[in-house]
């Protein structure tokens, strides 16, 4: 059983050449895109003022605010209750 090293090397070389051609095409495409952006006047304009406005925040309804308030009051009441037990045990 003879091992053909040269055939394996040729196959590897062909695969690398195919990959190089593909990479060259991708590089050329990216360079064309970059050339378009480099020549566009929009990018050359000073960016001192932002043009996009922030989206307005949606407010909570009165019922949502009331429910959140009740949840937080219960949360803090429970925290104060458990914190008091911890301090009493430490003394």
Confidence band, pLDDT 50/70/90 cuts, at residue 4: confident
| Sole residue written with tokens 């043009």 | 51
What burial letters (b/e) apply to 24-35, b meaning 16+ CB within 10 Å?
eeeeeeeeeeee
For residue 84, the model assigns a pLDDT of 79
Q: How far apart are the C-alpha atoms of 28 and 89, rounded to whole Å?
A: 73
Express each pLDDT in 35-89 by its tens digit. Answer: 888 886 655 555 566 667 777 878 889 999 999 999 999 999 999 998 877 665 5
Q: Mean pLDDT, to the nearest integer, of 13-26? A: 96
For residue 1, the model assigns a pLDDT of 47
pTM of the model: 0.38
Contacts of 68 (CB under 8 A, 6+ apart): 60
For residue 53, the model assigns a pLDDT of 74
Q: Mean pLDDT, to the nearest integer, of 28-41? A: 86
For residue 28, the model assigns a pLDDT of 95
Q: How far apart are the C-alpha atoms of 45 and 2, rounded to whole Å?
A: 68
Find out whether 58 and 64 touch, Cβ atoms under 8 Å.
Answer: no
């Amino acid at each position: 059983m003879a091992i053909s090293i040269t055939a394996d090397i040729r196959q590897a070389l062909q695969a690398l050449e195919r990959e190089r051609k593909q990479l060259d095409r991708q590089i050329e495409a990216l360079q064309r895109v970059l050339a378009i952006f480099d020549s566009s006047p929009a990018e050359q304009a000073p960016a001192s003022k932002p043009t996009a406005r922030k989206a307005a925040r949606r407010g909570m309804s009165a019922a949502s605010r009331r429910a959140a308030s009740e949840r937080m009051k219960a949360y803090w009441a429970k925290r104060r209750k458990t914190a008091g037990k911890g301090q009493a045990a430490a003394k």
